[in-house]
Structure 1
Amino acid sequence: MNVEANGITEIISMSALHININNNAIGSSNSSVLSGNNIFARNNNLTDFKQIRISPDLVGLYLKTNQISSIPNFTFVSASSLFFLELDDNHLIDIQPLAFIGLKDVVRLSLNRNRLVYLPAGVFSHIEQLSFLRLSGNPLKYISNQQFSGVLARIGGYTGIDLSSIPLLNTSIEVLRDLKNIEYLSLHQSFSFKKYFIRNTSVQADTTDEFPRLVIFILSSLNLGNQCKELLMKNLEVLDLSNNSFTSIPRYCLPRNSKAYNLDLSDNEIKVISNDSFDKQQQFWMLDLSYNNIISFEFGSLQHQTYLTDLNLEGNQIITLDSGYLTFSLKSVRINFESNPWLCDCDLIKTFLTLPPNEKSMKCFQPAAYAGTSVAELAAADNFSCRPQLCSPPYQTLLSFVGDKVELPCPVRHSTSSNTYWSVTLQELQFSDRDTFPNGVSILPHNALLISNAAKNMTGFYTCWSENEAGQTKFTLKLIVKEKLRENIEDRTNYSTMLVQNWTDNLQCGKGRIKMCGSRQGTIHMNVGVGASRLLAGDNPHP
């Protein structure tokens, strides 16, 4: 019988195999007794069990969100067939020691979010088949050492306990040891258990007691920092370490030599994922790193992950994809890149085009012209403009001589939409082509800067800027002008001019038989002869 959500306040007669009166207003004034095999009376105004026929035929009793405040002794003495008892979100403040006598077959008992401060010792020992107990959100101050001894030890069933969000004043290690054979354990935000899972304390060694059967372990919101002990769990399938103030991957406490499992490290403060962040023996099916502060993710860190299917990087601070992604071997992994402040430049667009369709829900954060735009839309747009690209290193140094005619190139791959200009800094003086350059300095049609007659006072920094709606690129050249040597001045002047011309030609995009960039920082000297110009590549020319 189903009369759910009808505003009913009183039932005259109700007897059926399955009764659903959820979301009504039935309370203590009801004159009828509810009778059936399964009674669903959630979200009503029941204050006790007087309106429920507790009989041997009762199999499931679901009374979540009522106003029941007490469970007297022998309440369920006749409920020999009851399997499921749900009493979440009531007003329970008192459970008497013999309240659960008769519940020999109950497998799930749920008492979440009541007002229980105290539990009588051994109160659950009468429930012989109990396999899952939920106590989260109660204001319990104390749990006796033997409270769970012999409980939740059912063989062949899925056993577990939820002790999350309980403000215990103190606990004993014996409480956990009585639970070591369960398969589900939640200690979320129950800080009294924290001391058993951090290193360098007087409590136990630097490894936790082994939980040989544990499958799901919720250890979130305990502020473990970077102090957690190694967790010994060979059969783990889910480990939740979210919201624990980790600033790096806690590889020292993650289980080793375990089968692959799902790891949740969301809502921490991790900034960098490097190639050595994970141990080779730590294998994952799903890895959740969402809502950290990750600014750099090296995909080489996943090179040993042979089982990984899902990676969640949502809500971090990643602006571009590590170049290692292009050679990432696990292309079948589903990756969530949403809600990162993506820099939509050409590098990102090119990498984006390699992503599977289900990983393409990304939006630009910068440059401002594209903020909020779907990266997929930009990648598909014919008019997308990439930030101007250099075809040389961004810094060069050139040694020239007084009287040389020097052409300084702007080695940028220009597009029709780019705007290019020069700025010049000579000691304390600054110029740009929007103002007046020093005498003898001009801009050529192909954007190169021409110095018709080099003088010593032209030593300085020459910067070519190129910008469009996608961003800005600059190339800076440090020009050093020296006096010529007197011997064979004419021959050496011609040779110097020829070298500068060759250097200029090789910095034009699309040319470049000589590679100027090199593979390491430092200074590369091109010595051609006494008095010749010298190119110094790799120096940072900023004053």
Structure 2
Amino acid sequence: MYKLSAAIVFIFLFFQNGASDQLCSVRKTENYCVCKRVTSQDESSVVTEADCSRIHLQSVPSQDQLTADLNLLDLSHNEIQELDENKNKLSSRTLQTLILSYNEISSISDKFFSEIPDLRKLILSHNKITTLDNRALFENCQKLTYLDLSFNHINTIQIDVFLPLVQLQFIDLSYNDNALGEWLTQNSDFLTHKLGLSLNISTIKLDNLNLTDLGNLYFVNYTNLKHLSLADNHFQEVPRVPYSVEYLDLSGSDISVLEVKQLSYHSLKTLRLDRMKKLENIHPYAFYNLEALEELSIRNCNNLKEFNELVFGAMFKNMVSKLKRLSLSGNALQHLNITYKYLFRTLDLVDLTDNPWTCDCDLLWLQEVDNLYKSDKIKCTSPTTLNSKKLIDVTERNVPLCYPQKFGKKSHRILISFLSLLVILLASLVAYLIYYAPKWYNNGSRRLGPESPYNVARNDLD
């Protein structure tokens, strides 16, 4: 049975060597770390971890304060201000994961990581780093595969600083100074030939760096890239990315129109287009060429009022699609074509919440879809008689026009109303004739004209 290293603890160790500054303990307190042995994720070995987060450390502890065979050291959420090997040297032949996020680190000396040769994962996010100006910073970190530098204040990076990281698979430079974005896009091969970023990298995150245009050749050499996040930048059209990409996040961009020519990536499995305030139009067949697409998220796009029935191409009753998750929540959608019924029935999840739906005859087919996410949160906005009413609670009495078998078609009801009015008019006419005609007849027929044989004057002449 698979066991997560963070959850399965089978031996607690209490490290005591008599030193007054010993930090390891079997129970976490304000001044002590929790040191423990756990099974590795692949259950192939036992590793030692030290959780030293949130204990108000102001410097990195030494190896003597911890344990000799440490594999993971978590120093997050402390008050560490600098990484200097002359003041707080960290030396370990076994340490593979070092977490330093949520501190106040502003500087790193060039030799600080030099005596951690087996380091694989380094997290420095949410600090105050402004520059990576030491070319030798990662010189002895050839085994590093994961590097997180997000949420700092980095504006420049030393040329070739990443060159020693030949095995790097993941890098996150998101949410740094906007100047970093301008600096990174000086030319199309900046990542490769300036920073020395490995061409074998599989994940790059460049969110919120004020990027506007990367050019068609920016990622051209990264043919192994699988996961690319470019969220919260200012792209006005979908940037050119490698055909190897399987995950693409363009949320928060300034894109207003999506066209099929911008999205022709046959390997793409996940596409996120959330929070795009300017998105107004998705052309027919826009997602038609995304043959491997499994998840599509278009959420909180306030100006998106239509989701065309042909964005995936023509849909039919027995269609087969790889798409499994579709989220369209928080947009301005009012209508959805019934042809989506064929697609929705094949999906694992459909999220249509928080849209101003018009609950008319053309939308009631959604009541037949049983895999809607939080279906009780899908509410009507119009007509006004159904405002805020849950779609699943709309009945035939709320929309009688949609149930001709019970209430008749609208055209039939109009005809019946017209005929009823005509009958009333005819009945009124008949009643009028019956009531007033005898009086008119009696008065008129008793008037004797001069030619009448009953005229008294005529008879006297005879």
TM-score (norm: length of structure 2)? 0.71
1:358-377 correspondence to structure 2 within 5 Å: 358-359=372-373, 360-361=375-376, 362-377=378-393
Percentage of identical aligned residues: 19
Correspondent of 2:323 among 308, 318, 330: 308
Match of 1:337 in 2: 352
Give 1:216 deviation, angstroms. 1.1
Give 1:206 deviation, angstroms. 5.9
Match of 1:105 in 2: 118
Correspondent of 2:208 among 175, 186, 189: 189
Aligned: 1:61 with 2:73:
yes
Whose Rg is larger?
2
Paired residues, number: 372
Give the counterpart letter for 1:341 in structure 2: P
Give the counterpart letter for 2:57 in structure 1: L
Separation in 2, partners of 1:185, 1:255: 20
Match of 2:103 in 1: 90
Aligned: 1:280 with 2:289:
yes
Match of 2:128 in 1: 115
Give 1:259 deviation, angstroms. 2.1
1:415-454 correspondence to structure 2 within 5 Å: 445-446=420-421
Correspondent of 1:218 among 229, 250, 255: 229
Separation in 1, partners of 2:229, 2:30: 36
Q: Residue 206 and residue 133 in structure 1: after superposition, are their counterparts in 2 closer, same or farther (change >3 A)?
A: closer
More helix by share: 2
Match of 2:41 in 1: none
Q: Residue 33 and residue 249 in structure 1: after superposition, are their counterparts in 2 closer, same or farther (change >3 A)?
A: closer
Measured on the aligned residues, the alpha-carbon RMSD in Å equals 3.5
Separation in 1, partners of 2:34, 2:60: 10
Give 1:270 deviation, angstroms. 2.2
Correspondent of 2:270 among 257, 262, 265: 262
Q: Residue 280 and residue 141 in structure 1: after superposition, are their counterparts in 2 closer, same or farther (change >3 A)?
A: closer
Q: Residue 339 and residue 448 in structure 1: after superposition, are their counterparts in 2 closer, same or farther (change >3 A)?
A: farther
Separation in 1, partners of 2:34, 2:218: 52
Aligned: 1:79 with 2:92:
yes
Contact kept in structure 2, 1:232 and 1:255, CA below 8 Å: no
Contact kept in structure 1, 2:233 and 2:253, CA below 8 Å: yes
Q: What stretches of structure 2 of length at least 5 have no aligned partner?
A: 1-8, 10-18, 37-47, 315-319, 427-462
More strand by share: 1
Contact kept in structure 1, 2:284 and 2:312, CA below 8 Å: yes
Give 1:48 deviation, angstroms. 0.7
Give 1:50 deviation, angstroms. 4.4
Match of 2:163 in 1: 149
Q: Residue 250 and residue 73 in structure 1: after superposition, are their counterparts in 2 closer, same or farther (change >3 A)?
A: farther
Contact kept in structure 2, 1:389 and 1:413, CA below 8 Å: no
Q: What stretches of structure 1 of length at least 5 have no aligned partner?
A: 2-10, 27-31, 199-204, 391-409, 421-442, 452-543
SS of the equivalent of 1:161 reads strand
Match of 2:60 in 1: 49
Q: Cα deviations across residues 86-118 of structure 1 (Å, max 9, x unaligned)?
A: 000111112111011111111110000111112
Give the counterpart letter for 2:359 in structure 1: C
Give 1:15 deviation, angstroms. 6.4
Contact kept in structure 2, 1:230 and 1:252, CA below 8 Å: no
Q: Residue 117 and residue 244 in structure 1: after superposition, are their counterparts in 2 closer, same or farther (change >3 A)?
A: same
SS of the equivalent of 1:170 reads helix
Separation in 1, partners of 2:284, 2:143: 48
Separation in 1, partners of 2:33, 2:163: 36
Q: Residue 311 and residue 164 in structure 1: after superposition, are their counterparts in 2 closer, same or farther (change >3 A)?
A: same
Give the counterpart letter for 2:272 in structure 1: D
Q: More relative contact order in 1 or in 2 (CA 8 Å, sep 6+)? A: 1
Q: Residue 447 and residue 213 in structure 1: after superposition, are their counterparts in 2 closer, same or farther (change >3 A)?
A: farther
1:375-390 correspondence to structure 2 within 5 Å: 375-378=391-394, 381=395, 383-387=397-401
